[in-house]
Structures are given as structure tokens and as C-alpha cells.
A and B are shown apart, each in its own frame.
Chain A
């Protein structure tokens, strides 16, 4: 079964950092671009970043560049998102998803990040 499982979310104070993880199984992880997408409470979907199969290319939504870093470990079949200098507006459910021809065909269930003092 193709599966993505996110982890690493939680409650963090403003200015703090978090590293989100996404564990893949049931498919050849190293063959896919991967993306992070987030959804603030009661809001729509926002694409955050994506990364090429070998990690050699990374793209970010302009507004988050500098604070967010996407990475992957193909040997561990894992995707990561490092988030620094967290702000209240980063509060959201963060989803990882496989990327194929610019669309996201498999999604995880998400991990919730809450930024609050």
C-alpha cells in the first residue's frame, strides 16, 4: 500500500524551530519529486516547497524562502521540512505529497503545527 506518514508537529513558541518528517512506503520514493503543502485552520491549501528526486533542485513559495528548508533522505525513504523562526501564521496542518507532472497524487494525513506562547 502506498503510504505517506507525517510526524514532528506540535506546539511551539514563536521564534522556535521544528523539523517535520514524512515517511514513505509502498512505492519507489527515490523516483518521485516530493512536496509539502500546508493548510491553516479554516483556510485553503498552500503549496510550500518541493524537491527533486535526488535533492539537487528545491523550490519554495516566495513568502517562505529563508525560513523553510526542504530535504530528503532516499535511503531512509523520508522527506523533511525544517521550519525556523516560527510565527503564529505558520500554524497549520502540514501535508507531504508525491509530485508527478506538477500534480500531487498521494497525500499523507498531515501533522499539525501550532505556534503560540
Chain B
């Protein structure tokens, strides 16, 4: 089981908005450590999507946004497009484990 908990799957129709939650604990997100998000398209390597809670690397559309509160974080994807169909992972640092931790991943299906 992953230290960070994500829903296994979410879905939405093109144009809709979906959110993916990431729930941690007092030694990671709740301790103030930043949350980062990655997108993994089918058959490819992960790609940094959001860093330090709500910052987008160059080239990432502003349809992608994220937030963090307490022991949880969430990723929002607005104006869903077929190309957004992918696996999404949250990641943070855990002080009790002295290392990075990932969520189990969420598969986004665009209906």
C-alpha cells in the first residue's frame, strides 16, 4: 500500500473538469512537505506536471492546476481532452521514511 492515497480511477467527458485527490499523513503532506504531480501517458516515462504544490513547468497547459491543504492535495484538470488520458501520480517527501513517496496512481479515462 502506498503512503499517499489516490483513487484508482476517475473519468470525465471531453470539456469537463475532474479532480484527483492525494491523501497523506502527518509525516509527509501534513508536515508541510510540498506535493508534486506527474503524468504518465501509456507506454511512456512519467513527466513532471505540477511542482511545489501548484507550479506548472514550461509547456504544461493552464488547464492543469493543483492545491494542497492539511494532509491532502488535489489535482484539477479542466477542459478535458482525449490526450489527457493517462495515469497521474502525486509525490511528496516523508520525514519518517527519509525519502520520497508516491501515491498509487490514478487512471484518468476520457469518455
- Tell me the A residues contacting B by CB distance below 8 Å: 35, 37, 44-47, 50, 59-62, 95, 101-110
Q: Is B63 an interface residue (CB 8 A)?
A: no
Q: Are A47 and B51 in contact (CB under 8 A)?
A: no
Q: Are A60 and B99 in contact (CB under 8 A)?
A: yes
Main DSSP-derived SS at the A contact region: strand
How many residues on chain B are close to A (CB under 8 Å)?
A: 28
Q: Which residues of chain B (63-103) have a CB below 8 Å from chain A?
A: 87, 89, 91-93, 97-103
Q: Is B24 an interface residue (CB 8 A)?
A: no
Of B44, B51, B52, B99, the most chain A CB neighbours within 10 A belong to B99
- Besides the known contacts A47-B102, A104-B48, A106-B48, 4 further A-B residue pairs in the complex with CB atoms under 8 A apart: A44-B102, A103-B34, A103-B36, A108-B45
Q: Are A105 and B45 in contact (CB under 8 A)?
A: no
